[in-house]
Amino acid sequence: MTDQRYDKEFEAFLAGESALDERYTELGSEEPLPELDALILAEARNEVKVHRLKFGPRGGWLKPVALAATVLLSLSLVMNIVVDAPVRFEQIVTESTQEPARLDAEQTVSGWQEKKIRLSEQPSMSGVEEITVTARKRTDNEPQSQDDTMMDVPESVSASAPEAMAQTTDLDTALLIVSEYVAAAVSGSVEADVKVSRFMDKEERAQTAAPGLAAADRATAASDDLQSKDNPELLLRNIERLNISGASAEAGALLDEFLLRYPAHPVSVKIHQRNY
């Protein structure tokens, strides 16, 4: 047999046209047992039934519904977190009578200790004329003040702070007292009124103790006034300065202007309490 003939036969075999193919068909066509057929077909039907039970007669609706439910749940969770965002307190610490150094209050809850340390670095309470804490609720679209940063007033503010106010000797205690004051004032309780009045008394004492401040503050406020036209925080500070220096009428006028210009801007509880 030549190679050429062999190759030809092999090609015929590959094409299914050789004698070998015929011999193979003679082997017969064995089939699996009917029991095996029944078993496999039953499994195939059962699988379809299970699929329908899982995904419904039309199939495939469960996944989209589950996905939509997950998205809704996630959205509502996020919305809930945004709505229930903790009230944050903005702290403003004004300058001392002797040193116009501003105490930058920059901290978060976790940075509370750091803040304490920084305040403690200041010489003494006698150098500080006033500490103001302004309560405000921050919203997403509200720009963050450059000068005054936010802090969370801890829930554990001491209830005995008003008593301690008369004998305040350091900045930490003063800060706690003022925070307590703000928290009470926001709550609007009877106790809050008492605390507010005590705080006011304390402020008045501070003003009489530093008569030389009035003129200096008026000058500072006047110069700041020019720059503060577009800065609500600076404007509020000027109002405070004017008030401390005894220019209540000017402070009142500036407050009216402020409220007209920034009706939605949060205003210090203390400023509201003064009733210019």
35 or 155, CB closer to another protein?
35
Angle between the N-to-C axes of helices 171-187 and 112-120, in degrees from 0 to 180, rounded to the nearest 10? 130
Tell me if 176 sits within 8 A of 183, measured CB to CB: no
34 or 263, CB closer to another protein?
34
41 or 209, CB closer to another protein?
41
163 closest CA partner among 188, 185, 186, 180: 180
Minimum distance from residue 27 beta carbon to another protein (Å): 6
- HSE value, Cβ hemisphere, 13 Å, CA-based, for 255: 22
Minimum distance from residue 83 beta carbon to another protein (Å): 41
16 or 64, CB closer to another protein?
16
Site residues for another protein per CB under 8 A: 6, 9-10, 13-14, 16, 18, 20-21, 23-24, 26-33, 36-37, 39-41, 43-45, 47-48, 51-52, 59
Minimum distance from residue 64 beta carbon to another protein (Å): 16
Minimum distance from residue 24 beta carbon to another protein (Å): 5
Minimum distance from residue 61 beta carbon to another protein (Å): 13
30 or 140, CB closer to another protein?
30
Local structure of 7: helix, strand or coil: helix
Local structure of 60: helix, strand or coil: coil
C-alpha span between 266 and 88 (Å, rounded): 12
C-alpha span between 105 and 260 (Å, rounded): 28
4 or 187, CB closer to another protein?
4
Main-chain phi, psi angles of 22, to 5 degrees: -65, -40
List b or e across 112-121, with b for residues whose CB sees 16 or more CB atoms inside 10 angstroms. Answer: eeebbebbee
Minimum distance from residue 3 beta carbon to another protein (Å): 12
Main-chain phi, psi angles of 131, to 5 degrees: -125, 125
143 closest CA partner among 269, 259, 256, 230: 230
Minimum distance from residue 17 beta carbon to another protein (Å): 13
2 or 113, CB closer to another protein?
2
Task: Tell me how many degrees the CA angle 77-82-83 measures, rounded to the nearest 5.
Answer: 100
**Tokens 């402070």 -> residue:** 251
